[in-house]
Amino acid sequence: MSDIPPDDDAAVMAQVAAGRHEGFSAIVRRHQQPLLNFFLRSGVSSDAEDLVQQTFLRLYRYRNRYRPRAKFTTFLYLLARQVLIDEIRRRERRKRLHDKIVEQTGIEWSATRREPPDGLSDGLQLALQQLTPAWREVVILGAMQGLEYEEIARMLKIPAGTVKSRMFYGLRALRQALAAGDKDHEI
């Protein structure tokens, strides 16, 4: 790597694509703050550092696709822009699903968390555990993870219609368990 100037991103990327990964950390150090600024200025404040990391992961994943036809930063910011678009889409999906779940169940939880929320009431956690595994899986993937029915169907290798019916019955059972308030009641 010593024969390549550390600030020649195109040359470093060629080396990384060829299997010499030592220079990748220099690219990360050099572009980390500008990428963070890009995401912050784009209105993503709470997850900006995660999006920077996702951008660098994509850069590494697509290291063999980079061709120095244009400036390296053009390629990098194209990747960052796609990461941002994906994040906006994820947030919109989570919001739609969150609103649907709140409308159907009256249960409010964070639609922006990636993991099942730790702050769920004990009653809600217990009600979720009482669902059949198939219903619980779909409710968690759809309502708490923000995945769309088609994504869940592909993931579980079942038809989208099955996902919809499991969501319907799972939410109905969840609503009934919460309304009953009977923690020992099996669904």
Per the listing, tokens 């029915």 go with 149
Residues of the chain with pLDDT under 50: 1-2, 110-119, 182-187
- Whole-model pTM above 0.85? no
**Among the listed residues 117, 124, 119, the one whose alpha carbon sits nearest the alpha carbon of residue 94:** 117
Q: Can you give the pLDDT at residue 123?
A: 72
CB-based burial label for 91 (10 Å; 0-12, 13-18, 19+): middle
Q: Can you give the pLDDT at residue 116?
A: 39
CB-based burial label for 60 (10 Å; 0-12, 13-18, 19+): middle
| Separation of alpha carbons 72 and 160, rounded Å | 41
| Separation of alpha carbons 43 and 146, rounded Å | 20
**Among the listed residues 43, 101, 102, 34, the one whose alpha carbon sits nearest the alpha carbon of residue 72:** 34
| Separation of alpha carbons 145 and 147, rounded Å | 6
Tens of pLDDT along 61-108?
Answer: 988 888 888 788 888 898 999 999 998 888 887 778 777 777 767 766
Q: Can you give the pLDDT at residue 115?
A: 39
Q: Which structural domains are found in the chain, ordered by start?
A: 9-88 (1.10.1740.10), 106-180 (1.10.10.10)
| Separation of alpha carbons 153 and 160, rounded Å | 5
